Chain A
Amino acid sequence: MNPDCGRLTLHGVSTLVALMTGSVVIGTGSAWSAPITFNTALPVAKNEFLVREQFIINRSSDDPISLNRDRTAKAAVSVLGYGVNGKLALFGVLPYRDNELKLTVAGQRIKRSASGFGDLTVFGRYTVVQRDQPGRNFRIAPFAGIKAPTGDDDKRDATGVLPPSVQVGSGSWDPLLGVVSTYQTLDYQIDGQISYQINNEANNFEAGDVARLDGSLQYRLWPRTLGGGVPAFFYGVIEANLIYQQKNQVNSQSNPDSGGTRLFLTPGIQYVTRRWIAETAIQVPVVQNLNGDALENDYIARVSVRFNF
């Protein structure tokens, strides 16, 4: 194997891992009518549980160099939320990952892949501002947590140890923090979130820190007119995700082919009942200002269901 190819694989694609990880961590929030790609400030009732299962496919194949890298990262992300009281909620997020990277080395197409449970993230969210009015509410809720290195980060294949872009775990303890705000009415809901994840070193590799700014509008399409009772709502959803990542470090050296800025526009739909929510969305990259030869995203598709217990 050409060592340069290994370096490019390691450096160029690893950005995606961090982006995907950040996306999974932040994008698995509460089970209200809520954003699909990130969290909400809406409450989890005291002593109540909610569960969310989200399926994600992240495709990246537009390689600017001759390696023709083609990466598919699939994840089934399980989220458990618990309401400590009306203001404090705790969340646990555990992804099952299936990562595959194909690339051309010395004229030969090779495939490297790994699957298994990824890193567990736990975080708490506390509502600091709550303004309730008839048929509407406004909330601001900071959150903080940590991603624990529970997933394997030393998987191997016949070629040797897999690069970070293919491993299912990062090997590092990575804290995250942010603030989410929600304005919800009977007709529509607006959410906004700013967050930061500090990625630490493991196995001589340190993914760049990730900063995100997310926005979401959910608009009730059906029923057009509200009557009495509690009808199910069908929402049209449009979200925007601005994601900036610092360059990765390999052996304490900054990697010029990593990090950068991405902006996704994310159309979606959501069906909300009293007990469950079903939703789907696709994140389309509209701006990818990446460093060096970093691999660009094609799309990220999401399907999820949420349940109240």
Chain B
Amino acid sequence: MKKVMAAVMLSMIWSAVTVAAGTEYRMRVDGLACPYCAYGIEKKLKEIEGVGKIDVDLNAGLVIVDVAEGTSLTEPQMKTLFQDAGFTYRSMTEKSLDESAKHE
């Protein structure tokens, strides 16, 4: 039983480390003005391997994406993705999820 508990704990720690080592991208997107906009964008982002949590903030015009370590999002890739969804990509900032966690 102790071995099982230890394995579960290790697994949880490993998962946390994996996510924490990833990257958070904050993208400014123009044209987002209704709830229906969000779904198509989320769907397109989820098609990218390594993409985890996606938050859309309509009021701020922001799309926030967490990706796993080893995955990176590029500006040309995002320009095309948002163009295909019918919107206009403007800019992107990125920071380590480790760094994000420290600020929380």
When the two chains form their complex, are residues B40 and A226 in contact, meaning their CB atoms are under 8 A apart? no
When the two chains form their complex, are residues B86 and A86 in contact, meaning their CB atoms are under 8 A apart? yes
When the two chains form their complex, are residues A86 and B85 in contact, meaning their CB atoms are under 8 A apart? yes
Which residues of chain B are within 8 angstroms of A3 by Cβ–Cβ distance?
none
Of B5-13, B18-26, B27-35, the segment with at least 4 beta carbons within 8 Å of chain A is B27-35
A262 and B34 CA atoms in complex are apart in Å by: 32
Q: Which chain A residues (260-283) contact chain B, with CB distance < 8 Å?
A: 272-275, 277
Residue of A nearest to B41 (CB): A45
Q: Is A135 an interface residue (CB 8 A)?
A: yes
Using C-beta atoms within 8 Å of the partner chain, give the interface range for chain A: 35 or more
A99 and B43 CA atoms in complex are apart in Å by: 41
Which residues of chain A are within 8 angstroms of B28 by Cβ–Cβ distance?
134
When the two chains form their complex, are residues A233 and B35 in contact, meaning their CB atoms are under 8 A apart? yes
Smallest CB–CB gap between A182 and chain B, Å?
A: 10
A230 and B61 CA atoms in complex are apart in Å by: 11
One of B35, B41, B61, B88 near A232 (C-beta < 8 A): B35
When the two chains form their complex, are residues B30 and A274 in contact, meaning their CB atoms are under 8 A apart? no
Q: Is B83 an interface residue (CB 8 A)?
A: yes
Q: Is A115 an interface residue (CB 8 A)?
A: no
Which residues of chain B are within 8 angstroms of A61 by Cβ–Cβ distance?
none
Please judge, given known A-B contacts A274-B35, A277-B36, A308-B36, whether A230 and B86 are in contact too, CB under 8 Å: no
Smallest CB–CB gap between B83 and chain A, Å?
A: 5
Q: Is B56 an interface residue (CB 8 A)?
A: yes
Residue of B nearest to A31 (CB): B36
Q: Is B1 an interface residue (CB 8 A)?
A: no
A86 and B89 CA atoms in complex are apart in Å by: 13
Q: Is B53 an interface residue (CB 8 A)?
A: no
Which residues of chain A are within 8 angstroms of B87 by Cβ–Cβ distance?
43, 86, 132, 137
Which residues of chain A are within 8 angstroms of B44 by Cβ–Cβ distance?
45
When the two chains form their complex, are residues B36 and A86 in contact, meaning their CB atoms are under 8 A apart? no
Of A101-109, A160-168, A184-192, the segment with at least 4 beta carbons within 8 Å of chain B is A184-192
When the two chains form their complex, are residues B58 and A186 in contact, meaning their CB atoms are under 8 A apart? yes
Which residues of chain A are within 8 angstroms of B32 by Cβ–Cβ distance?
135
Interface centre among A44, A132, A184, A277 (most CB of B within 10 A): A132
When the two chains form their complex, are residues A43 and B59 in contact, meaning their CB atoms are under 8 A apart? no
Interface 0/1 of A117-132, CB less than 8 Å to B: 0000000000100101
Interface 0/1 of A42-59, CB less than 8 Å to B: 111111100000000000
When the two chains form their complex, are residues A135 and B36 in contact, meaning their CB atoms are under 8 A apart? no
When the two chains form their complex, are residues A136 and B55 in contact, meaning their CB atoms are under 8 A apart? no
One of B42, B55, B86 near A43 (C-beta < 8 A): B86
Q: Is B101 an interface residue (CB 8 A)?
A: no
Interface 0/1 of A24-66, CB less than 8 Å to B: 0000000111000000001111111000000000000000000
List 20 A-B residue pairs with CB atoms under 8 Å apart, sorted by A's residue number. Answer: A32-B36, A33-B34, A45-B85, A85-B84, A130-B31, A132-B88, A133-B31, A134-B28, A135-B33, A135-B58, A135-B59, A136-B31, A136-B33, A137-B30, A189-B33, A226-B58, A230-B57, A233-B34, A274-B42, A277-B36
Q: Which 4 A-B pairs have the closest CB atoms?
A: A43-B86, A132-B31, A46-B84, A132-B30
